[in-house]
Structure 1
Amino acid sequence: MDIHTIKNYEAWMFDPHFDEDTREELKGIMGQEKEIEDRFYKELSFGTGGLRGIIGAGTNRMNKYTVRKATQGLANYIKNKGIEAISKGVVIAYDCRHMSREFSQEAALVLANNGIKAYVFEDLRSTPELSFAVRHLKAVAGIVVTASHNPPAYNGYKVYWEDGAQVATKIAEEITKEIQLIYDYYTSIPMDKEEALRAGLLIYIGEEVDEVYEKAVIAQSLRGDAIHQVSQDFKIVFTPLHGTGNLPIRSVLKKVGFENVLVVPQQELPDPNFTTVSYPNPEERAAFQLAIDLAKKENAHLIIGTDPDCDRVGAVVKNQEGEYVVLTGNQTGALLVDYILSTLKEKQELPSNAVIIKTIVTSEMGATIAEGYGVDVFNTLTGFKYIGEKIKEYEASGAKTFLFGFEESYGYLAGTHARDKDAVVASMLICEMAAYYHGKGQSLYEGLLSLYEKYGYHLEDLKSITLEGKEGMEKIQGTLQAFRDNPPTEIGGYQVKTVEDYLKQDKLPKENVLKFLLEKDAWVALRPSGTEPKLKIYCGVVEDALDTCKEKIQQLMSHITNQL
């Protein structure tokens, strides 16, 4: 270990500023050099929009001290903006994870100690409602304490700006600078809770925001008639995976007319240990096992599941053999693009300047469908904050009318009530879309097959390679650089036509991502995760038959991973 790491460890061990629980935890790892190094070799990075890490003592961990310091940096940034920014306040929401409530209170009281009002939700709330609430309350910023779909050992802290989107890259960099100017943890001090309440600097919010948020979500419904036509017999199974989605999604589905919504009882209530799943992620089929069991028993037509902070949603439908299959994020996105655009066209309400926004690692199928309706498509970097930035830009200029944004990782947004992915509005539209197909005597799966027949068979795959700690980070960076220095000319039987290096382009913010455009519209992309210690490999192919797609995508993924 280097001397810097050792000094950090000793400071946290012996400095009376840190509480007894922290010191006891650190005594427990005495002599474990690798563990000490991982906890103290750096400070937990603020990243592109906040913190995320394992809960525990140390500079590279999520704990009350790192949360206080990050919040002090945010407070300093707000104060630099002047009295108007200070007076607007900050909205704070949190999910069901270990320490989420405590971290949200620490953040609120540090803000209060800086004379900045904190509007704190009285109980669990979803990330998209936080995004909505920032603009609804005309706040300068927002914080949501969540680690999304990470394992139970993690928590996180995402920062939003006054437009309701996660902080843009430039703002994130400036907040990071403010955090880095805080050389110790003594200056990040929370105000006493009772004092903050008396001073009007700690304000609890709840149902009054829920009500207007739900109205904004329900306003995105397109075919209420389709719901009411089948509401008696159309059966939905829903799982919130122990997270924040339980109440808002059930409430919205009921209000738009769905009468048969069954919630997986074992996963209904909040649980920070996510005891019924190994990974609370609707991208994983295993997370849906209990929901599938219930759907089989009840002969349900559709299953939906949301992640702990309710910004992602997955859908499960019956295939032609009657088996329940999990749709990919790309498949659901393509279905929603077609459903939204076809409905608006039928109603003669499709704006002439409509735009769909997706990310560079999302399937091109949604784009192909949109272009079939004469609708423009814009690609952003991975991360919904970039979609939020474009929404803000289009609203300001009037150049485009935003209809729908989506990414392969199960994130969707219809409408502009939020500026982040919203599993509440997406769940409503997925259920409505499935009800519409059901009314026509089709399943969502059959609807997908009809889109394949019309637009070509698109299939994608994603592999994440976990590389933890300092060595893992270095390995990820080295791998990207190796491909950058010596790009392949052929991948998995496809010739490489173009290499897009997002560190060397000017259309989008620079990011360490490589995308290889191959013949026959196939593609491969490599990028480090922005929130987890992972290297992500994305592949996509377009063929004339689904079986051919499956063969080619496997070949493509095997070839690229064998080179790592």
Structure 2
Amino acid sequence: MSDSIAQKRYLDWIENPALDKATYKELKTISGDKAQIEDRFYQDLQFGTAGLRGIMGAGSNRMNIYTVARAAAGLAEYIKQQGKDAAARGIAISYDSRNNSSMFAELAARIFVSNGLTVHFSDELRPVPMLSFAVRHFNCAGGVMLTASHNPKDYNGFKAYAADGAQLGPDAADSVAKEMARIKDLPAVIANSLTLEQARKSQLWQDMGSDLDAAYDEMLLQISLQSDVVARHSDLPIVYTPLYGTGNKPVRRILEKIGFKNVYLVKEQELPDGDFPTTPFPNPELPETLNLAIDLAKELQAPLVMATDPDADRVGISVRRSDDSYYTLSGNEIGILLMEYILKTKKELGILPDKPFVVSSIVSGRLSDRICAAYGCDLYRVLTGFKFIAEAIHEHEDKGDGKFQFGYEEAFGYLAGSSVRDKDAVVSCMLLAEMAAVAADEGETLLDRLDRIYATYGYAAENTISIVREGKSGSELIKNTMSEMRSDPFNGFSSLPIRSLSDFDKLIKINLENSKEGKLNYDRSNVLLYELEGLDFFCIRPSGTEPKIKIYFACYADTQEECDRKLENLSATVMDRIECLMDKDV
């Protein structure tokens, strides 16, 4: 979009007499600043399968009351088109601790009620997995979670959910986006809606609270596998931090219910605070995010440290070594620990069902292939995004005769049980704590269990590199980099033992060993996956929720030293090409 169009949009906003005073004042401060105007108005904030996510502020490319109102109105229209029954079943709404999340949630609820939709509104902040559970529990037609997950404090988001409790799929998201595009006068959407007081008095408004908590907890208790072992180690010290977010109450509650008595919180990070004062990036994927929790764990000699992000859909952990230092696990390591624990325990207890299956993403580690094979468990690989894991559960369990056991992504998202259809850090914390008790019962640590997995199934070296490029120019640079990689996919890679290339945008797989081309049975996605010898691979894709391009690497061998050597060589070769492309002028 040209500067003149961005400038026109800017003027359309600032000259609208219905614009609120705060937004008008903010926009006046950037008058004459072409770069700011361009960045805020060069596009509408994009609505996709992850809903909306962006920096908070004034402008069409920002998260604010107007872009949230448009998203809510578009989703309301989409649901109304499904009939009166869908409108009556309505929408479940929750929100996290971010600045403006509760206000955005109330605004969305006003618009839904104004459109004749029933609203089940969380009476306090609750996490993503509980919102997903609520959609299914209350038989809603959809759901909304106001959150930007693990992004920095300047961000917020509007996650939209379908009736199955999963985030909207590509077709549904496109339909909502089309409805949003028809809305031109954004202030009018708010002006024509009920006030919050009027909406709350409507028969369409229903609060959800302790009843939801009780139902969710009961579901979690059915997933617990070894409560008898927890009872023997109820005094096991565990350190937990909710990182100022929604995990605080549900995680503590379920740990207490399964029997743990010594759960210690990082007090500095306990209460809701959208400024995240001790951690600019409230992301448990980053080892430094766990520093305060690890300091507390050292004082207590706690064997397990757990951290959940603000909307409690991701969990990171650190475990104590024999020398009292702490090792922070990768997302893949947590994933295979949980997977192996669930499959192994169920088999030993005689409760592993016929036709069990696990779902993981195409960018997640490959040791899961070997673990699943050892337990006679099918493994389905899907595109990145937990909605695709949810689709696989629906396809193979709801519609088929398979029995879902576990799903995970390397980006620290995990799910056990099928009553939730999104990442669930609460059930993950419960099972990780339970696993720590089982390890203690057997005279070992979680690291001992991880080492045994490696010794049994092979060693791994896995890494993800993210390159951030913000704003319009950054978006174009990422787009151009993917375009150039796709047009010349093997340039610079002659030294690599590439067996195949899967292009998920063109939906083709090229087998370099026999020069044959096959079709991929996936939704289209901007992803290039290179498979090398054995289980080794690397993959390149732009993030769907952040201004970054991500490069995934994974190497496997009989020794850790060989894995590390292979990973170093692979990373250096691939990053030479990527960095060269990313350094180009747009």
Q: Same fold (TM over 0.5)?
A: yes
Q: Map Cα deviations across residues 35-79 of structure 1 (whole Å, 9 max, x no partner).
A: 110100000000223100000000000000000001111111111
Listed as ranges, the matches of 1:39-438 within 5 Å are 39-189=40-190, 190-232=193-235, 234-438=236-440
Question: In structure 2, the residue corresponding to 1:521 is in which secondary structure?
Answer: coil
CA shift for structure 1 position 117: 1.6
Report the residue type matching 1:230 in the other structure: H
| Contact 1:492/1:560 (<8 A) preserved | no
Report the residue type matching 2:36 in the other structure: E
Counterpart in the other structure of 2:542: 528
Distance 1:308 1:171 in 2: 26
Question: In structure 2, the residue corresponding to 1:538 is in which secondary structure?
Answer: strand
Question: In structure 1, the residue corresponding to 2:189 is in which secondary structure?
Answer: coil
Question: In structure 2, the residue corresponding to 1:4 is in which secondary structure?
Answer: helix
Report the residue type matching 1:250 in the other structure: R
Counterpart in the other structure of 2:530: 516
Question: In structure 1, the residue corresponding to 2:444 is in which secondary structure?
Answer: coil
CA shift for structure 1 position 186: 4.5
Distance 1:447 1:532 in 2: 34
CA separation of 1:490/1:439 partners in 2, compared to 1, >3 Å: closer, same or farther?
farther
Distance 1:16 1:313 in 2: 46
Corresponding residue to 1:498 among 473, 485, 500: 500
CA separation of 1:490/1:399 partners in 2, compared to 1, >3 Å: closer, same or farther?
farther
Q: Map Cα deviations across residues 232-266 of structure 1 (whole Å, 9 max, x no partner).
A: 3x211001111110110000000001111111111
Question: In structure 2, the residue corresponding to 1:37 is in which secondary structure?
Answer: helix
Report the residue type matching 2:482 in the other structure: L
| Contact 2:66/2:187 (<8 A) preserved | no
Q: What is the alpha-carbon root mean square deviation over aligned residues?
A: 1.3
| TM-score, normalization by structure 2 | 0.94
| Contact 2:153/2:280 (<8 A) preserved | no
Q: Map Cα deviations across residues 95-146 of structure 1 (whole Å, 9 max, x no partner).
A: 0001001100110001111111211111110010000000111110100000
Distance 1:396 1:331 in 2: 29
Report the residue type matching 2:144 in the other structure: I
Distance 1:514 1:438 in 2: 42
Q: Map Cα deviations across residues 147-193 of structure 1 (whole Å, 9 max, x no partner).
A: 00000000000000110100111111111111112122155233122
CA shift for structure 1 position 548: 2.5
Q: Map Cα deviations across residues 10-43 of structure 1 (whole Å, 9 max, x no partner).
A: 1211211210110100111112111110100000
Distance 2:418 2:552 in 1: 29
Counterpart in the other structure of 2:463: 461
| Contact 2:92/2:135 (<8 A) preserved | yes
Question: In structure 1, the residue corresponding to 2:534 is in which secondary structure?
Answer: helix
Question: In structure 1, the residue corresponding to 2:17 is in which secondary structure?
Answer: coil
Q: Map Cα deviations across residues 260-279 of structure 1 (whole Å, 9 max, x no partner).
A: 11111111111101001121
Distance 2:187 2:287 in 1: 46
CA shift for structure 1 position 295: 0.5
CA shift for structure 1 position 396: 2.9
- Detail structure 1 runs of 4+ shifted over 6 Å in the superposition: none
Counterpart in the other structure of 1:4: 5
CA shift for structure 1 position 554: 2.6
Distance 1:462 1:259 in 2: 37
Question: In structure 1, the residue corresponding to 2:179 is in which secondary structure?
Answer: helix
Distance 2:40 2:133 in 1: 35
Q: Which moves more between the two structures, 386-395 or 333-342?
A: 386-395
Report the residue type matching 2:535 in the other structure: D
| Contact 2:107/2:196 (<8 A) preserved | no
Distance 2:497 2:326 in 1: 36
Counterpart in the other structure of 2:551: 537
CA separation of 1:212/1:479 partners in 2, compared to 1, >3 Å: closer, same or farther?
same
Distance 1:494 1:441 in 2: 43
| Contact 2:142/2:163 (<8 A) preserved | yes
Counterpart in the other structure of 2:582: none
| Contact 2:302/2:320 (<8 A) preserved | no
Question: In structure 2, the residue corresponding to 1:563 is in which secondary structure?
Answer: helix
Q: Map Cα deviations across residues 368-413 of structure 1 (whole Å, 9 max, x no partner).
A: 1111111110000000011111112223323311110000011000
CA shift for structure 1 position 326: 0.7
Distance 1:489 1:367 in 2: 30
CA shift for structure 1 position 422: 0.3
Distance 2:49 2:553 in 1: 25
Question: In structure 1, the residue corresponding to 2:553 is in which secondary structure?
Answer: strand
Q: Map Cα deviations across residues 461-519 of structure 1 (whole Å, 9 max, x no partner).
A: 00110011111111111111212111227749531110011112241111010000012
Distance 2:345 2:165 in 1: 28
| TM-score, normalization by structure 1 | 0.98
Distance 1:198 1:280 in 2: 36
Question: In structure 1, the residue corresponding to 2:302 is in which secondary structure?
Answer: coil
Distance 1:490 1:7 in 2: 44
Question: In structure 1, the residue corresponding to 2:539 is in which secondary structure?
Answer: strand
| Contact 1:218/1:425 (<8 A) preserved | no
Distance 2:461 2:384 in 1: 19
Distance 1:273 1:548 in 2: 43
Distance 1:20 1:503 in 2: 44
Distance 1:544 1:126 in 2: 40
Report the residue type matching 2:299 in the other structure: K
Q: Which moves more between the two structures, 113-122 or 492-501?
A: 492-501
Report the residue type matching 1:180 in the other structure: A
Q: Which moves more between the two structures, 340-349 or 196-205?
A: 196-205
Distance 1:470 1:370 in 2: 43
Query: Are residue 563 (structure 1) and residue 577 (structure 2) matched?
Result: yes
CA shift for structure 1 position 82: 1.1
Distance 1:18 1:559 in 2: 52
Distance 2:404 2:246 in 1: 27
Q: Map Cα deviations across residues 421-449 of structure 1 (whole Å, 9 max, x no partner).
A: 10000000011111111110111111111
Distance 1:7 1:113 in 2: 31
CA shift for structure 1 position 322: 3.1
Distance 2:522 2:174 in 1: 16
Counterpart in the other structure of 2:15: 14
Identity level (%)? 43
Listed as ranges, the matches of 1:476-491 within 5 Å are 476-488=478-490, 491=493
Distance 2:493 2:440 in 1: 41
CA shift for structure 1 position 7: 1.1
Question: In structure 2, the residue corresponding to 1:494 is in which secondary structure?
Answer: coil
| Contact 1:217/1:417 (<8 A) preserved | no
Question: In structure 1, the residue corresponding to 2:206 is in which secondary structure?
Answer: strand
| Contact 2:79/2:87 (<8 A) preserved | yes
Question: In structure 1, the residue corresponding to 2:79 is in which secondary structure?
Answer: helix
Report the residue type matching 1:202 in the other structure: W
Report the residue type matching 2:550 in the other structure: K
CA separation of 1:216/1:9 partners in 2, compared to 1, >3 Å: closer, same or farther?
same
Report the residue type matching 1:6 in the other structure: Q
Q: Map Cα deviations across residues 510-542 of structure 1 (whole Å, 9 max, x no partner).
A: 101000001232110000100001100000000
